[in-house]
Structure 1
Amino acid sequence: MIWRGRKVLVTGGAGFLGSNLCHVLGRRGAEVTALDAMLPQMGANPANLEGSGARLVEIDLRSDDRLLRELCDGTEVLFNFAAQTSHAGSMHDPLLDLTINTTIQLHLIEAMRQVAPRAAVVHASTRQFYGRPQYLPVDERHPIVPPDANGVSKWAGEQYWLLEQRVRDRPVTSLRLTNCYGPRLRVKDARQTFLGIWIRRVLEGDPFEVWGGEQLRDLAYVDDVVEAFMLAGTCLLGGLDRPDAQGCNGRVFNIGGDAPMSLLALADLLIETAGAGRYDVREFPEDKRAIDIGSFHADDRAFRAATGWEPRVPLRDGLRRTLDWFRPRLTQYL
């Protein structure tokens, strides 16, 4: 197996996506180190890594370059999830957003240059910097029109990694994610995704709010997203036998999910799946209306062609699995 014994570094490793990836890497035999600053406003939770076999190192990538170099030394694959993801939060504190999503990337790039110059990098990016879609579904050629500070900073962070591929020939690919959900999601509030707070409210028996409601979204279940990262890493390592594909190195890919659904239909499906719940439809708060992107769903055919990937978990099943996972654990995530 291509992952057995391989030294893998996962930044943002105690967060939602990073920790789920750590569990899969551990099952496939990798030697995994998870780095996380454990900032309270982010999605990290030490419980996320229980049973994964990953070594968790608490480190703020903004402040300790010496330790960062030591941790990067000998890395063969970096999965890079270190990020600030709150769109409203980026507008309230754009400097913090810039520091985490851009400046930290430069610290990480420099450390990797010094001690792991040939390591492959799979970078977690976002559909946010496309802004309000000019056409649907959105493919990778869509214009970049960031609607908020988060879109600007995430775009810059991605581009620094792609520059590393072009200038220094490091194997790099970037996956641009849509709304992701599933076990280990941040559900205490809406900082990670609106669906998190919906799930909390349903499980606690309280109503949740739907802002607008007609907007379309495609949601990707975490197992499908993790498999996309695993395939991207395998592709960079030369482990995919797809002679008809263009490969992954130096490319960006959209990662979508199940068929798009309106927020109102999603709210109804969540309640139906949970067997309980209710919601109120509200107008967008003023500070969020200006940065809302309207309807979005991704065209991810390029990644499917490159790797053979496809989402396998239908939305209804994914919601059921998520609710079932959180029911006995909810207090750990509040």
Structure 2
Amino acid sequence: MTVIRKSLGGPGLIRSFSGRKALVTGGVGFIGSNLARELVRLGAEVTLVDSMIPEYGGNLRNLAGIEKRVQVHFTDVRDGHSLPHLVRGQDFLFNLAGQTSHMDSMTDPQTDLEINARAQLSILEACRLHNPGIRIVFASTRQIYGRPDYLPVDEKHPLRPVDVNGINKLAGESYHLLYHRVHGIRSTVLRLTNTIGPRMRIKDARQTFVGLWIKQALQDDAFEVWGGGQLRDFTYVDDAVEAFLLAAAKDAAAGEIFNVGGTKPVTLEELAAEVAMACGGGQYVVKSFPGDRKRIDIGDFYADDRLIRKKLGWRPRTKLREALEKTFAYYRKEIAHYV
């Protein structure tokens, strides 16, 4: 049974999206599929694009309950021939297609370049040539800031990515902002922090280490906490989805960059204790940081999200304990489809 909750954002967002056409790249993945579900609830005509590459986040189970209410194109955003057909006639493009693994970007930098930079330019060129009136929201990442000079990190912080993924994501967002300024293609960049919730990848840590912790906790395996003292903030996926919708719906967001923050920051060891408690008794062990990952770790990070609160009226609504409890409730029923 599919539970339909009240739509986010109220009547204003319903007016913005009802009867409109929305394209979501990476739409069968974690955030993309949750966004698609909300767009369906708001009355939008939704088209999803996903490559379904096994190492990434696409999972058809993410569409359970809305399969017949969305169109799905199984294609890769690196396939420039399909892009003109996909972008024509769309009112909104939520551009979430990307390679998210920081370690994969270091071991296979060319693939990361193709997906997170070169393909983004192809998407924007398709929009410029075939649908210049489209409204775009691009999913970027906190990783582009690198190791913080100060906390919380605001949008004016220097940009010093510590891995190939961060460099290519910075290029991707720069393309979007350039096309906004030069070609008038209205684009907004959202810099996401650690997003968690139902439908995230849990079979490994390619998308988020929290997903792997949740899988191991549910399977009664002790999960590893590396370091443990690093501070992080976490955004529940419904809150992240609302940020995407507000960014697309509000004219004030065009051409802007926004941090999407989350809960009150906690150390990773405090997070581990919360995960164990939400699971009902999970076990964890604190270990030293592996050398290969320590070199690209950014240390403490939490976002200053005052700008998006001021301009768009967004704020994170879901506390960490509630976010973890909702996530565990989902995977207790659905884990067989995700491991």
Relative to the length of structure 1, the TM-score reads 0.95
Check the 8 A contact 2:193/2:233 in 1, yes or no.
yes
Q: Per the alignment, in what secondary structure is the counterpart of residue 195 of structure 2?
A: strand
In the alignment, the residues of structure 2 paired with residue 68 and residue 121 of structure 1 have an alpha-carbon distance, to the nearest angstrom, of: 14
Residues 137-158 of structure 1: CA deviation (Å, up to 9, x unaligned): 0000000011000110000000
In the alignment, the residues of structure 2 paired with residue 307 and residue 226 of structure 1 have an alpha-carbon distance, to the nearest angstrom, of: 13
Residue correspondence of structure 1 range 1-334 to structure 2 within 5 A = 1-52=15-66, 53-63=69-79, 65-236=80-251, 247-334=252-339
How far residue 49 of structure 1 moved from its aligned partner, in angstroms, is 1.4
In the alignment, the residues of structure 1 paired with residue 87 and residue 278 of structure 2 have an alpha-carbon distance, to the nearest angstrom, of: 43
Residues 96-115 of structure 1: CA deviation (Å, up to 9, x unaligned): 11111001101111111122
In the alignment, the residues of structure 2 paired with residue 121 and residue 197 of structure 1 have an alpha-carbon distance, to the nearest angstrom, of: 31
How far residue 50 of structure 1 moved from its aligned partner, in angstroms, is 2.0
Higher alpha-carbon deviation: 188-197 or 110-119: 110-119
In the alignment, the residues of structure 1 paired with residue 186 and residue 78 of structure 2 have an alpha-carbon distance, to the nearest angstrom, of: 24
How far residue 2 of structure 1 moved from its aligned partner, in angstroms, is 1.7
Check the 8 A contact 2:128/2:183 in 1, yes or no.
no
Q: Per the alignment, in what secondary structure is the counterpart of residue 328 of structure 1?
A: helix
Structure 1: gaps spanning 5 or more residues: 237-246
1:239 maps to: none
Residues 25-65 of structure 1: CA deviation (Å, up to 9, x unaligned): 000000000000111110010111122322111001212x3
- Letter of the structure 1 residue corresponding to residue 109 of structure 2: P
- Letter of the structure 2 residue corresponding to residue 251 of structure 1: E
Check the 8 A contact 2:240/2:260 in 1, yes or no.
yes
Q: May I ask how many residue pairs the two structures share in their alignment?
A: 323
Structure 2: gaps spanning 5 or more residues: 1-14
How far residue 67 of structure 1 moved from its aligned partner, in angstroms, is 2.3
In the alignment, the residues of structure 2 paired with residue 138 and residue 202 of structure 1 have an alpha-carbon distance, to the nearest angstrom, of: 31
In the alignment, the residues of structure 2 paired with residue 42 and residue 284 of structure 1 have an alpha-carbon distance, to the nearest angstrom, of: 24
In the alignment, the residues of structure 2 paired with residue 149 and residue 71 of structure 1 have an alpha-carbon distance, to the nearest angstrom, of: 28
In the alignment, the residues of structure 2 paired with residue 2 and residue 61 of structure 1 have an alpha-carbon distance, to the nearest angstrom, of: 26
Residues 284-303 of structure 1: CA deviation (Å, up to 9, x unaligned): 11110100000000000000
In the alignment, the residues of structure 2 paired with residue 303 and residue 14 of structure 1 have an alpha-carbon distance, to the nearest angstrom, of: 26
Q: Per the alignment, in what secondary structure is the counterpart of residue 16 of structure 2?
A: coil
Identity of aligned residues (%): 51
How far residue 66 of structure 1 moved from its aligned partner, in angstroms, is 3.0
- Letter of the structure 1 residue corresponding to residue 19 of structure 2: G
In the alignment, the residues of structure 2 paired with residue 224 and residue 38 of structure 1 have an alpha-carbon distance, to the nearest angstrom, of: 25
- Letter of the structure 1 residue corresponding to residue 218 of structure 2: L
Residues 185-210 of structure 1: CA deviation (Å, up to 9, x unaligned): 00000000110100000011101000
In the alignment, the residues of structure 1 paired with residue 51 and residue 219 of structure 2 have an alpha-carbon distance, to the nearest angstrom, of: 29
Residues 9-31 of structure 1: CA deviation (Å, up to 9, x unaligned): 00000000000000000000000
Check the 8 A contact 2:27/2:49 in 1, yes or no.
yes
In the alignment, the residues of structure 2 paired with residue 263 and residue 66 of structure 1 have an alpha-carbon distance, to the nearest angstrom, of: 44
Check the 8 A contact 2:230/2:299 in 1, yes or no.
yes
Relative to the length of structure 2, the TM-score reads 0.94
Q: Please tell me the root mean square deviation across aligned C-alpha atoms, in Å.
A: 0.8
How far residue 328 of structure 1 moved from its aligned partner, in angstroms, is 1.0
Residues 151-176 of structure 1: CA deviation (Å, up to 9, x unaligned): 10000000001000000111111000
Residues 243-288 of structure 1: CA deviation (Å, up to 9, x unaligned): xxxx211110000101000000010011111112111111111110
Q: Per the alignment, in what secondary structure is the counterpart of residue 72 of structure 2?
A: strand
